[in-house]
Structure 1
Amino acid sequence: MTIPFDARINLTPEDIPKRWYNLAADLPGLKPPLNPGTGEVAKPEDFEPIFCKEIIRQEGSTERYIDIPEEVRDNLIYLNRPAPLQRAYRLEKYLKTPAKIYFKREDMSPLGSHKGNTAIAQAYYNAEAGIHTLTTETGAGQWGTALAMVSNLYDIKTTVFMVKGSYLAKPLRKTIINTYGATIYASPSEHTEFGKKILKEHPETTGSLGIAISEACEMAANDKNICYSLGSVLNHVMLHQTVIGIETMQQMEIGEIEPDYVVACTGGGSNFAGLTFPMLGEKIRGKGFKDTQFVAVEPRAAPSLTKGEFKYDYGDTAGFTPLLMMYTLGSEFIPSSIHAGGLRYHGMSPLVSAAYDTGLITARSYDQTQTFEAGITMARTEGIIPAPESCHALKGAIDLALECKEKNEEKTIVFCLSGHGLLDLYGYEQYLDGTLPSSEI
């Protein structure tokens, strides 16, 4: 069999981006974070109890491009960057669709997901600032895994608060995080005052990302030698992830690919932003992607874009963070326990929220039974078992391909395979034996 030219489009290490792209430079009317105590625009010092200064600077930056330090670029090579862009020929054949389907392979990192792109940057900047202890939250465990591993590169100790529902459903995540040398607790925990409060009020809770963020922030705020590291939502995280989209744009140019749809899953927004923001910037500036539709896919268990309200809200449950202008279900909202734990967040990135509010992107949501069905389909056609989070993007891409089939339209779909599901097989087992519960709210 002759391998088609665009079956997999690879780049070389020299092609790893030298600059991150910042959508805040091109998106007008962004509303700044507010100090919850005064109601005034948050100042850099409002973030200093939990973040190092360079992270704070990037968070508030409106520069279009920010240079990637050479040490960070070098370490991105070890995360298997640049990542391939691959065509899903067998999936297309199975669907009998005239559409072309491509996927960006963030699953091939040794960490198993895209999360290392920002973990390396954040660990680097904290180490440069003399910080050698970090705290963080994690949902499904991909972010906690990423920060635990890269912390070793910079002699950093890490404590991870993992949402209890995922902690219990994915016990091997604890093993991996411990193997990388980090400490992990199920959240809510007895290790913070807020965790104790939640356990007292809701002893049977499965937790939430908002609660886990609160615990990590509390631990950082109480010790000047500890900083907090975030895996999604805030602007600096979106910034670091744009290596995904910048690479993808290079690969689409090589393959002469003009996407009609660009699709990614959304929880806090990091992999969606990483794939789409560089393209959205081109679209806003009139340089390309004029007719491309950008589709965010979220779980029906936590549908912040499709059912949330666009307003100021806390990024965590306890109220440690500044108020953020975002689509939110409410900072006290605790979603049902689903296998796509990385998408169980009450709000959406302020930048993704602003893009949605201005009509630059669209959104759709799915129940987890629908997304696992899509995951099975990909496993049996392309041989890849996607993470439950990635199954949302996959489901969105499949539905768009089937719409093309109904209309007999030869359109092109690009989606982000944000991670593999080899530590999520219990969810697949539940789907296969018919015991996977619905996740709709």
Structure 2
Amino acid sequence: MSTVALPTSWRSVLPHLDEHLPPDRTPRTAGGASVQVNLPMELVRQSVQHKEYWDIPAEVAEAYRAFRPTPLWRAKGFERAVGARVPVYVKYEGGNISGSHKLNTALAQAYYYARAGVRELVSGTGAGQWGTALAAACAMFGMKCTIFMVAGSLRRKPYRGTLMRTLGATVHASPSGLTDVARQSEAGVNSLSLAIGEAVEYAAATEGAAFCIGSGETYSILHQSVIGLEAADQLAGLDAEIDAVVGCVGAGSNFGGIALPFFSAAASAGTEPPLLVAAESSTTPKLTRGTYAYDRTDATGTGPMEAMYTIGSSYPIPDSHSAGLRFHGAAKVLSAMRHRDQITATAVGQVEALDAGRLFTRGEMVLPAPESGHALAAAAHLAGAGAEGSDGPLRAEKGVLVCVSGHGYLDLGAYQQLMDGELANESPDPQALSRAMGGLQRVEQLAGAGAGAGHER
């Protein structure tokens, strides 16, 4: 196991992209006014400026020291279990109060919002890791916290709600009945998009409150770069070689955190980066089966329309233990890189993900979250016979680095269902996918002929 010093700066990938990201499209109200987003200016700057290194504020760094640097080790037991040909190195992010990597950006965002005078942060959460992280960060910086959690996830994992309330947060199951977006939603809709939509509406109507999101925004991916920066130093300390980096993808902060610092380092050195593989849920295959288009990020439709790989915000995502991966779109920075062939993706079913998690538990004595199981399954294929990716077969020849984004101690019900033989993979309905994506405007169509890199998917 290897540890290093805590990074003093976050590292942005924006200076190393071939082109600027496509601009957001700001929706307008019925009266024609643009919708305003209550975002601290430092987070705005971190999203748009092509500045490579951003100093970590002293208060955030001090909070990080309670759980960072996080451990990295060679997973020899897992290698044996999956028949790996090459080494598999694991970066583990589950050893903090939230049980996941989400705390890295929650602490940073709470710090910036508190400095901007915000008294309450409001958000939506799927599996509960983000909600727990935000509740912890708000408690640390003396702020109120309100969380809308996907009802199906909250039913399966009630103790996530208990932990958030213990940290001082108010928790609502979504759909809650407290908002217009919930009252107008179709019966049975149970998605992160709706939970986020409720949070957006609630925050807009509450004085001193601001909506806060933890995964897909460029600034949240920047904050997660501590994962990859630490991992690079730890691998160097072990004289370890890798040629593939894997992380799971809901909207993209975990994958971006582990993978993009390697892309930036290679770009700075003028060398080829490792194969960067985003492992997504087969129930929500935006990077493998989606389209690169402008889509809304939440169920209200009041937030900016972003250029993303998406299966359509109206797609009825099947219920599954992919939990936090059940989001219809990928982060705009990752989507742009996917479009330019700078990253690739593979889709994993919940049965395979949980089975990989079970093998990892036996081999490494660490229980991973179901989301992390998707990355572990992809890593097992890369280190073994190979995996089927969005651009063809994928295979590592030197070594694989995989991020285990969080622990699974509040997901034991999923593992019990796996062992009882009660789980099956949910395949997307091709016609439903086609309908959900049919009305979207593809980015290359909007940009015109010759604009942008990459090719049609």
Q: TM exceeds 0.5? A: yes
Q: Deviations over 1:155-186 (max 9, x none)?
A: 11000011112111111111111111101111
- The one-letter code of the counterpart of 1:169 is R
Give 1:236's aligned residue. Answer: 219
1:294 and 2:281 aligned: no
Partners of 1:263 and 1:294 within 8 A in 2: yes
- The one-letter code of the counterpart of 1:34 is R
Q: State the TM-score, normalizing by the size of structure 1.
A: 0.91
Distance, in Å, in 1 between the alignment partners of 2:270 and 2:239 is 16
Give 2:455's aligned residue. Answer: none
Q: Deviations over 1:62-90 (max 9, x none)?
A: 21111110110000012x10011111011
- Give SS of 2:346's match: strand
Gaps (5+ residues) in structure 2? Answer: 388-393, 429-457
1:367 and 2:349 aligned: yes
Instruction: After TM superposition, list the pairs within 5 Å mapping 1:427-438 onto structure 2.
Output: 427-438=414-425
Partners of 1:116 and 1:150 within 8 A in 2: yes
Partners of 2:26 and 2:35 within 8 A in 1: no
Q: State the TM-score, normalizing by the size of structure 2.
A: 0.88
Distance, in Å, in 1 between the alignment partners of 2:378 and 2:368 is 14
Give 1:5's aligned residue. Answer: none
Give 1:101's aligned residue. Answer: 88
Give 1:42's aligned residue. Answer: none
RMSD of aligned alpha carbons: 1.9
% of aligned pairs identical?
39
Partners of 1:401 and 1:413 within 8 A in 2: yes
Distance, in Å, in 2 between the alignment partners of 1:394 and 1:335 is 23
Q: Deviations over 1:336-363 (max 9, x none)?
A: 1111210000000001111111111111
Give 1:53's aligned residue. Answer: 41
- The one-letter code of the counterpart of 1:387 is A
Distance, in Å, in 2 between the alignment partners of 1:404 and 1:302 is 22
Distance, in Å, in 2 between the alignment partners of 1:291 and 1:172 is 40
Partners of 1:233 and 1:350 within 8 A in 2: yes
Distance, in Å, in 2 between the alignment partners of 1:62 and 1:424 is 39
Give 1:341's aligned residue. Answer: 323
Give 2:121's aligned residue. Answer: 134
Instruction: After TM superposition, list the pairs within 5 Å mapping 1:35-114 onto structure 2.
Output: 35-37=26-28, 48-78=36-66, 80-114=67-101
Give 2:400's aligned residue. Answer: 413
1:169 and 2:169 aligned: no
Instruction: After TM superposition, list the pairs within 5 Å mapping 1:307-386 onto structure 2.
Output: 307-386=289-368
Gaps (5+ residues) in structure 1? Answer: 1-7, 39-44
Distance, in Å, in 1 between the alignment partners of 2:82 and 2:118 is 51
Residue 252 of structure 1 deviates from its aligned partner by: 1.5
- Give SS of 2:18's match: coil
1:149 and 2:136 aligned: yes
Distance, in Å, in 1 between the alignment partners of 2:37 and 2:373 is 37
Partners of 2:27 and 2:34 within 8 A in 1: no
Distance, in Å, in 2 between the alignment partners of 1:334 and 1:117 is 30
Alignment size in residue pairs: 418
Q: Deviations over 1:125-144 (max 9, x none)?
A: 11111111010010100000
Partners of 1:49 and 1:221 within 8 A in 2: no
Which of 8, 11, 15 aligns to 1:21? It is 11
- The one-letter code of the counterpart of 1:362 is T
- The one-letter code of the counterpart of 1:64 is E
- The one-letter code of the counterpart of 1:59 is S
- The one-letter code of the counterpart of 1:10 is T
Distance, in Å, in 2 between the alignment partners of 1:249 and 1:342 is 26
Q: 1:86 to 1:197 in 2, by over 3 A?
A: same
- The one-letter code of the counterpart of 2:14 is A
Q: 1:422 to 1:409 in 2, by over 3 A?
A: closer
Residue 409 of structure 1 deviates from its aligned partner by: 7.9
Residue 254 of structure 1 deviates from its aligned partner by: 1.2
Q: Deviations over 1:310-347 (max 9, x none)?
A: 01111112212111010011112231111121000000
Residue 291 of structure 1 deviates from its aligned partner by: 5.3
- Give SS of 2:385's match: helix
Q: 1:222 to 1:62 in 2, by over 3 A?
A: farther
Q: Deviations over 1:166-210 (max 9, x none)?
A: 111111111111111101111111111111111xxx2323x1111
- Give SS of 1:210's match: helix
Partners of 1:50 and 1:220 within 8 A in 2: no
Which of 256, 265, 271 aligns to 1:273? It is 256
Distance, in Å, in 2 between the alignment partners of 1:137 and 1:255 is 39
Partners of 1:97 and 1:404 within 8 A in 2: no
Distance, in Å, in 1 between the alignment partners of 2:125 and 2:290 is 22
Q: 1:47 to 1:83 in 2, by over 3 A?
A: farther
- The one-letter code of the counterpart of 1:285 is S
